[in-house]
């Protein structure tokens, strides 16, 4: 089923993101995580797409397996960097054949090792071109999601231009959006105001990253251009040598963040699970009375 149609029926949607596991053991562990998260009855789950090429087939295999072995609605991430239009069309055709109706259309991260010669001449340079390609070739078959950036994408020259590019994706046919992680809700509320002013009115679901390993998340957040406020850094640094305590305050922090978002009327929460269930389940149990 198309996610955008499910969103219309839900008061608050809950969704989970996974990445393609690298080994058979990690794959078994992911499917155990999925079993543990199933009772929450998520509106959808999504599977990321490796930018370097290595996990690209993996995304398709995991998406197919979730679709065939569970009753979950699954969305495949698809990045266009490094693909020709012909390759993209083949990937989409394959998703259509296996019954996948939801695609997160991304440009993708440009790997550091990327050489200009790896960029196909007839590829899509920006995500809005991928959205157009999907619409031009598949009409309304796919429900299309796109990424958005409460603090702006790191490569955007300024926030005005960032909203302009986001609007371009919406005008090309995006049905809804999931945001980059953020650790201060005021960025998200300001972003929603700017979207309203720009006339963007598709559903925007905040992406929530529970901090369970501070150094890992700090590194990733910095790459994404997501600010971790100084007082939050201090709090986690205090427990740098204590993984149990870090996890506990990470769950508390994400719980407070979600509570505030729900009080302010968000219609969905998308959790970056990193293929683990325990932090997400604890946060969900803490907030479920508000859903």
Ligand X SMILES: Nc1nc(=O)c2c([nH]1)NC[C@@H]1CN(c3ccc(C(=O)N[C@@H](CCC(=O)O)C(=O)O)cc3)CN21
Could you list the active site residues?
A: 17
| Among residues 104, 133, 208, 224, the one that binds ligand X under rule CB under 6 A | 224
Contact between residue 290 and residue 36 where contact means Cβ atoms under 8 Å apart: no
Per rule CB under 6 A, is residue 268 in the interface with ligand NAI?
no
Per rule CB under 6 A, is residue 58 in the interface with ligand NAI?
no
Q: Which residues contact 65 (CB under 8 A, 6 or more apart)?
A: 31
When CB distances are held under 5 to 8 angstroms depending on the partner's kind, the choice from ligand X, ligand NAI, none that residue 56 binds is: none
Residue 242 CB-density burial (10 A; 0-12 exposed, 13-18 middle, 19+ buried): exposed
What x-and-dash track marks residues 119-138 binding ligand NAI by CB under 6 A?
-------xxx----------
Q: What Å distances lie between residue 168 and 148, 164, 223, CA to CA?
A: 12, 6, 24
C-alpha distance across the termini of the chain, in Å = 22
What is the per-residue DSSP string for 180-202?
EE-S-HHHHHHHHHHHHHHT--S
From 62-70, 113-121, 167-175, 216-224, give the range in contact with ligand X by CB under 6 A.
216-224
From CA 134, how far away is CA 93, in angstroms rounded? 10
Q: How far is the CB of 106 from ligand X (least distance, A)?
A: 8
| Among residues 156, 213, 255, 286, the one that binds ligand NAI under rule CB under 6 A | 156
Per rule CB under 6 A, is residue 221 in the interface with ligand NAI?
no
| Among residues 77, 83, 247, 270, the one that binds ligand NAI under rule CB under 6 A | 77
Q: How far is the CB of 136 from ligand X (least distance, A)?
A: 26
When CB distances are held under 5 to 8 angstroms depending on the partner's kind, the choice from ligand NAI, ligand X, none that residue 272 binds is: ligand X
Residue 124 CB-density burial (10 A; 0-12 exposed, 13-18 middle, 19+ buried): buried
Tokens standing for residue 6: 């499910």
Query: Binding residues for ligand NAI, per CB under 6 A?
Result: 48-49, 51, 77, 79, 106-109, 126-128, 147, 153, 155-156, 165, 168-169
């Amino acid at each position: 089923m198309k996610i955008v149609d499910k969103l219309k029926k839900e008061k608050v949607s809950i969704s989970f993101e996974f990445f393609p596991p690298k080994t058979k053991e990690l794959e078994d562990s992911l499917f155990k995580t999925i079993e543990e998260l199933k009772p929450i009855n998520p509106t959808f789950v999504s599977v990321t797409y490796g930018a370097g090429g290595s996990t690209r087939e993996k995304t398709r295999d995991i998406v197919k397996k979730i679709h065939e072995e569970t009753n979950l609605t699954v969305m495949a991430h698809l990045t266009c960097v490094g693909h020709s239009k012909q390759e993209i069309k083949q990937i989409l055709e394959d998703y259509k054949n296996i019954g996948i109706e939801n695609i997160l259309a991304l440009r993708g991260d440009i790997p550091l090792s990327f050489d200009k010669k790896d960029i196909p001449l007839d590829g899509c340079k920006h995500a809005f071109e991928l959205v157009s390609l999907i619409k031009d070739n598949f009409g309304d078959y796919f429900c299309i999601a796109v990424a958005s950036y409460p603090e702006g994408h790191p490569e955007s020259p300024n926030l005005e231009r960032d909203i302009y590019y986001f609007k371009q994706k919406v005008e090309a046919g995006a049905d809804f959006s999931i945001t980059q992680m953020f650790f201060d809700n005021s960025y998200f509320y300001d972003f929603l105001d700017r979207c309203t002013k720009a006339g963007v009115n598709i559903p925007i679901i905040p992406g929530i990253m529970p901090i369970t390993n501070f150094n890992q998340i700090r590194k990733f957040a910095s790459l994404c251009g997501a600010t971790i406020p100084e007082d939050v850094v201090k709090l986690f640094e205090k427990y740098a040598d204590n993984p149990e305590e870090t996890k506990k305050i990470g769950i508390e922090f994400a719980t407070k963040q979600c509570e505030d978002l729900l009080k302010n009327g968000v219609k969905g929460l998308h959790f970056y699970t990193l293929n683990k269930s325990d932090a997400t389940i604890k946060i969900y149990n803490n907030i479920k009375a508000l859903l």
